Structure 1
Amino acid sequence: MISRVHQLKKILNNVEKNVLQIFGFPPRELAMAYTLEKRLPQPKKFTIKDIVGDGILLAVPKFRRTVEKRLKRKFGSPDYVWKMLIPKTNIIVCNSCGHYHERGYICGHCYKKVEAETKEIQDKIQEKLGNLKPIENDVIVLYNGENLPEQPKEFWQGKRIIEMKKDRPQWFSKNLLQKSTQQPSESKDVKPTDLA
């Protein structure tokens, strides 16, 4: 049986040699197909970091806008849409400090004073009461020479008193700390006094 297989193999080799000599190459019909049993590479597990890399590519402009384009966007162009600069006519002088500001808006100089005073009060509250968040009880601020108003004990229950060791600013009246839901005050102590 083995010898017959060898003979058949020799015959096929001879036929193949003869055919190669005639045509110069083996015809496709007689070519032997061979499959290599090689395992395909397993797909690698990848994460989003592998895709993104060091940074995320966002839809950002590639080039900077030129000065001319920026100015055209801001002021327009006389050939197309011309955005004229309109002078403001609603500028007034602040009654308390003398700085100019737009009508209907608070004076920037006065606002900085209010902001500084508020920050000072907040720092004093943090210093005395600690870092309480949220502060659920009312805080009463007393300046030099001020006493607690006469109220029943139930009124003072849970309230916190902060004493500022300086005089009350003229613009900071006592009525500013009253809640709007309370009854209107009978006090006419409004500073500066020429307004009342």
Structure 2
Amino acid sequence: MATSLLRIFHAAFQNVEIRLLQAFGLHPPPGPALAIPGCHHPLQGSQGSDMTEPSGLSSLLGGVFLMAAPKHRQSLERRHKRQRHPDKLIKPKENLFPCPECGSMMQEGFLCINCYQRIKYETDIIRQKIKETETDGLASTAETVVRYADETITESDKSKRVIEMARKKPHWFTKDMYDEHWKTS
């Protein structure tokens, strides 16, 4: 209680000092300053007039954010026990099985990374072919169909933009791959 009253009186005297210096046209000399927690410099407007200050606990703290700090140092043994608890360690994967396409090990419910790399490579090639067929750098609004060397164009695909690939279609890249995706979503 006494320290809070001391801080309030200190802030009041500081305000009086600042106003007197401003009234005589003097400013406080530049130099080192003593900062007391809970006391703050009054806000000044553009003409030098003071703005109203909030009262109560918020004015005493002056926007200070207090955080908890430990009272005693924690030993390395206790810290390591907490950090290296068996529940926090990485557990070995038990749901691994070979990929039906490439045979590499993959986790159940996830896409095989080797198969993903192959699909990404194939779709990058298709995107490059699509960019080559674009005129004036503008994308076409027509639906696009990819035709490999071993495929034929159907009647429904004749009205669409056809991207021709000069190589054989990969065995994992099925035609209904996109159709199944659109049916489920």
* TM-score, with length taken from structure 1: 0.46
* Higher RCO (Cα < 8 Å, 6 or more apart): 2
Rg comparison, structure with higher value:
1
* TM-score, with length taken from structure 2: 0.49
